[in-house]
Amino acid sequence: MKILFAASEVVPFAKTGGLADVAGALPKALVRRGCEVAVMLPKYRQVDVDRFKLGKIEGNISIPIGSRIVQGGLWMTELEEKVTVYFIQQDHYFDRDGLYVDSNNQDYPDNAERFGFFSRAVLEACKILGFKPDITHAHDWQTALIPVYLKALYKQDPWFDKTRTVFTIHNLGYQGIFNKYEIVKIGLGWEFFHHEKLEFYGDLNLLKGGIIYADILTTVSRKYAEEIQTPEFGHRLDGLLRTRKKDLYGVLNGIDYEEWHPSIDKFIAANYHVDDLSGKAICKSDLQREYKLPVRSEVALIGMITRLVEQKGIDLVADVLDKIMELDIQLVLLGTGDKWAHEFFQVAQARYPQKIGVALKYDNVLAHKIEAGADMFLMPSRYEPCGLNQMYSLAYGTVPIVRATGGLDDTVENFNPTTGQGTGFKFLRPTPEELLNAIYPAILNFYTNKTGWIKLMRNGMLKNFSWDVSAGEYIKLYERALEK
């Protein structure tokens, strides 16, 4: 099966969130199962041409943008696992500091145009490469126009007459909503500005296009696939999603164990595994030193790695902070995001310098150190399509405390101290009280039930969230799309 896998971020080239992890790992797993995969992403400034040995491919891509023709180029590299990665070059659009936002965290005003260009350029690139995809697998609003273009602009094009489309929603909260006049820049006529097409409360909604036009829709956990069909989680698209219910599937993301496993992790102070946890204590003291906290092996150390936004339940943590600071615990936070949260945690650190460590930055090495060094990992998301960090935590024997939503609910099982079953602590409603009701038993078990705690850690470490399982599910869905 030939798969065109188009995404706006791909590990190890460019990343702002979980999508990049998926787009880096899933193609490898698909190739291992015999698929031929061409991954495509924009050639951003942060893509390291020398390190990844990118080579330029002959030929130009020409895309109409409004009344202009915009030219682009094509680059490529091959990853060790026989995954071929192509980069769409268009320096005016992609040679910028950020992927989607400028240094003031403001969306680039031409994002519709940029990703409209990209979505059409990947289709044109297929022709330059002589690659006739059976499946195009697109992701999130940035590439949601691919299924739209295939059914609208390329309908008569024999190159794609056998191509079927799969569209994955990684986070329904980000829809790519733009002013309606942007429609002229993305190559679609005004007939597409219709409530059964891309019109959305007077604006243009690119994600909506993907939902309507793709043959098969997926999202990144079973629970989230159900949740997004309800008004509480549907971000005003739940009605539309219900109409596509029979084509909507939840496939849990895997994790890349080559990058995230305590037995081989290169970034942590000591390696360890399920049968010998001794290295974890070394990682803990290393983490405490890193955050300039008192080095205490016995204290309960809670880690958080997160975008500091409402989705992640940061406000809930803020609400309960004084309460949990009454306990004998340490809290280390790594994240960036909303200004109020930056200020709040800076103040909190100044108030509790012996107990709270704060790093307001993006730092992959530190993320690994937290997963390895913390005893518990806190993820109180209001909604969570899949979530990766709780799965990393399970792999590292770092007990997750999560809200029972989306992928968090699918991957974490409540701990039962009597039976020794379970992998973490969950709470249902996103309220400060319920959050506390999950933190308290976690802390209590940590201090008073040492054997139970080790069992709990091991239960998590023995879970398998490998991409091979998910890749198998995707291949079945690709086959289903081909039957359409």
Give the binding range for ligand ADP (CB under 6 A) out of 106-114, 153-161, 285-293, 333-341.
Answer: 333-341
| Closest to ligand ADP by CB, 84 or 336 | 336
- Residues of span 344-373 touching ligand ADP by CB under 6 A: 362-364, 367
* Least Cβ distance, residue 173 to ligand ADP (angstroms): 9
**Nearest residue (CB) to ligand ADP, 116 versus 385:** 385
Q: Does 388 bind ligand ADP (CB under 6 A)?
A: yes
Interaction of residue 209 with ligand ADP, rule CB under 6 A: no
What is the nearest approach in angstroms of ligand ADP to the Cβ of residue 359?
8
Taking the least distance from each CB to ligand ADP, the nearer of 22 and 301 is 22
Placement of tokens 């500005």 in the chain: 193
Minimum separation from the CB atom of position 366 to ligand ADP (A): 7
Choose between 364 and 431: whose C-beta lies nearer to ligand ADP: 364
The answer to whether the beta carbons of residues 397 and 262 sit under 8 Å apart is yes
CA distance 60 to 332: 49
Query: d(Cα 440, Cα 424) in Å, to the nearest integer?
Result: 12
Rounded to the nearest whole angstrom, what is the least distance from the CB of residue 274 to ligand ADP in the complex?
21
Q: Where do the DSSP E strands lie in 390-456?
A: 399-403, 425-427
d(CA 210, CA 188): 14
Compute the distance between CA of residue 357 and CA of residue 344 in angstroms, rounded to an integer.
Answer: 13
Q: Please state the closest distance from residue 333 (CB atom) to ligand ADP, in A.
A: 9
Nearest CB to ligand ADP, comparing residues 142 and 306? 306
Closest CA to 368 of 270, 253, 235: 270
DSSP letter (8 states) at residue 152 = H
From 424, 446, 464, select the one nearest 284 (Cα to Cα).
446
Token duo for residue 365:
């090495």
Looking at beta carbons, which pairs linking 190-194 to residues 24 or more positions away fall under 8 Å? Answer: 192/148, 192/152
Place of tokens 């043959």: 215
If one asks whether residue 387 binds ligand ADP (CB under 6 A), the answer comes out as yes
The pairing of strands 177-178 and 203-205 is antiparallel
Is 262 a binder of ligand ADP (CB under 6 A)? no
Q: Which is nearer to ligand ADP, 63 or 317 (CB)?
A: 317
Residue with nearest beta carbon to ligand ADP: 18
Identify the residue among 335, 373, 400, 406 touching ligand ADP (CB under 6 A): 335
Provide, rounded to whole angstroms, the least separation between the CB of residue 266 and ligand ADP. Answer: 16
In 3-state terms, what secondary structure has residue 84? strand
Count residues near ligand ADP (CB under 6 A).
17
Q: Which is nearer to ligand ADP, 22 or 126 (CB)?
A: 22
CA distance 464 to 2: 28
Both structure tokens of 37: 């995969």
Report the greatest alpha carbon distance in the chain: 70
Kindly tell me which of 358 and 386 has the beta carbon lying closer to ligand ADP. 386
Q: Which stretch binds ligand ADP (CB under 6 A): 332-340, 348-356, 446-454, 460-468?
A: 332-340
CB 379 within 8 A of CB 389: yes
Q: Which is nearer to ligand ADP, 63 or 367 (CB)?
A: 367
Q: Is 83 helix (H, G, I), strand (E, B) or coil?
A: coil
Q: Which of residues 291-320 bind ligand ADP (CB under 6 A)?
A: 305-307
Q: Which is nearer to ligand ADP, 367 or 399 (CB)?
A: 367
- 3-class secondary-structure state, position 169: strand
Minimum gap (Å) between residue 68 Cβ and ligand ADP: 34
Give the one residue of 46, 336, 437, 449 binding ligand ADP; rule: CB under 6 A. 336
DSSP code of 140? H
Q: Is 56 helix (H, G, I), strand (E, B) or coil?
A: strand
Is the link from the previous residue into 12 a cis peptide, with omega within 30 of 0? Answer: yes
Q: Between 186 and 207, whose beta carbon lies closer to ligand ADP?
A: 207
Identify the residue among 389, 405, 445, 470 touching ligand ADP (CB under 6 A): 389
Determine, following the binding rule CB under 6 A, whether residue 334 of this chain makes contact with ligand ADP: yes
Nearer to ligand ADP, 126 or 287 (CB): 287
Which residues, other chains included, contact 262 with Cβ-Cβ below 8 Å and sequence gap of 6+?
268, 271, 272, 273, 279, 280, 283, 371, 372, 395, 396, 397
Residue window 8-47: x/- pattern of binding to ligand ADP, with contact defined by CB under 6 A? ---------xx--x--------------------------
Task: Determine, following the binding rule CB under 6 A, whether residue 61 of this chain makes contact with ligand ADP.
Answer: no
Say whether residue 226 binds ligand ADP (CB under 6 A): no
Taking phi over 0 as left and psi of -120 to 50 as alpha, with beta for the rest, 202 belongs to left
Residue with tokens 């400060």: 432
Nearer to ligand ADP, 3 or 305 (CB): 305
Residue 74: alpha-carbon gap to chain centroid: 26
Q: How far is the CB of 223 from ligand ADP (least distance, A)?
A: 14
The answer to whether the beta carbons of residues 284 and 298 sit under 8 Å apart is no
Instruction: Considering only the stretches 208-216, 233-241, 387-395, 436-444, report the one whose residues sit in contact with ligand ADP under the rule CB under 6 A.
Output: 387-395
Q: Which residues bind ligand ADP (CB under 6 A)?
A: 17-18, 21, 305-307, 334-336, 362-364, 367, 386-389
